[in-house]
């Protein structure tokens, strides 16, 4: 099977909500020596994006979306496990999670895996996380950066709430903030006063390094 055929198989597996085929495509791609992030970005992500578009257009419904997400989760687990671990000294501490009211976490999990692979110490709080939890954990571990993910336009406010938390308490900002998720843009980040925005996991690593003066 060629590289392109594997990407196509990965995309098709998600489009057809087929968890077994997704697992097979992920394993096959890695066995063929394809870079894990390339397999994700050229195979599985276009697959789940297509399902999202179909859902928006009303040609696929919630049960199918859930099945596709499950196939995506299985592929993501296999791919994340294959991202080589960074053996260097830890670069900085990042607390990350999906904001309150939002249970989407596939993209955030990819960001976590790539940050870890690049030597960051990452505390993944999971999904549906209230602002206070982010702050508590960041204080606990002495984080450098708090990263928030959101996939719903209705929960983007959770990212703003984090920025406002300092203002409300009259405190100087203790941590750098980094925001992401499909509806998030640089413009939104600027508007709420976040320190960085990243479009994808690779960019998130670059921005985290920049925030900590490592590049």
Contact residues for ligand B12 (CB under 6 A)?
45, 48-49, 51-52, 55-56, 62, 65-66, 69, 96, 101-108, 110-111, 147-149, 151-154, 178-183, 198, 200-201, 204
Q: What is the DSSP letter of 42?
A: I
Q: Which of residues 1 and 186 has its CB atom nearest to ligand B12 in the complex?
A: 186
Helices (H), 16-105: 19-31, 36-39, 45-57, 62-82
Q: Which of residues 1 and 70 has its CB atom nearest to ligand B12 in the complex?
A: 70
Q: Which of residues 25 and 178 has its CB atom nearest to ligand B12 in the complex?
A: 178
Question: Which of 165-174's residues contact partners 24+ apart within 8 Å by CB, and which partners?
Answer: 165/131, 165/135, 174/138, 174/139
Q: What is the DSSP letter of 85?
A: P
Least distance to ligand B12 from the beta carbon of 32, Å?
A: 22
Least distance to ligand B12 from the beta carbon of 170, Å?
A: 26
> What tokens were used for 46?
């276009």
Least distance to ligand B12 from the beta carbon of 90, Å?
A: 18
Least distance to ligand B12 from the beta carbon of 9, Å?
A: 18
CB atoms within 10 A of CB 73: 15
């Amino acid at each position: 099977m060629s590289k392109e055929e594997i990407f196509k198989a990965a995309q098709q597996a998600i489009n057809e909500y087929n968890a077994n085929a997704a697992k097979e495509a992920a394993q096959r791609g890695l066995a063929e020596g394809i870079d894990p992030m390339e397999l994700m970005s050229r195979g599985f992500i276009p697959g789940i994006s297509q399902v999202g578009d179909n859902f928006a257009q009303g040609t696929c419904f919630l049960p199918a979306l859930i099945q596709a997400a499950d196939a995506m989760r299985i592929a993501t687990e296999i791919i994340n496990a294959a991202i080589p671990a960074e053996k260097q000294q830890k670069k900085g501490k990042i607390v990350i999670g999906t904001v309150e009211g939002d249970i989407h976490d596939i993209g955030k999990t990819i960001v976590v895996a790539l940050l870890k692979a690049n030597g960051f110490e990452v505390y993944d709080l999971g999904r549906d996380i209230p602002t206070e939890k982010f702050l508590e954990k960041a204080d606990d571990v002495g984080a450098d950066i708090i990263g928030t993910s959101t996939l719903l336009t209705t929960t983007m406010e959770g990212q703003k709430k984090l920025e406002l938390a300092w203002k409300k308490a009259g405190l100087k900002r203790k941590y750098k903030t980094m925001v992401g998720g499909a509806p998030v843009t640089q413009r939104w980040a600027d508007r709420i006063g976040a320190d960085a925005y990243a479009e994808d996991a690779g960019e998130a690593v670059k921005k985290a390094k920049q925030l900590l003066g490592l590049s």
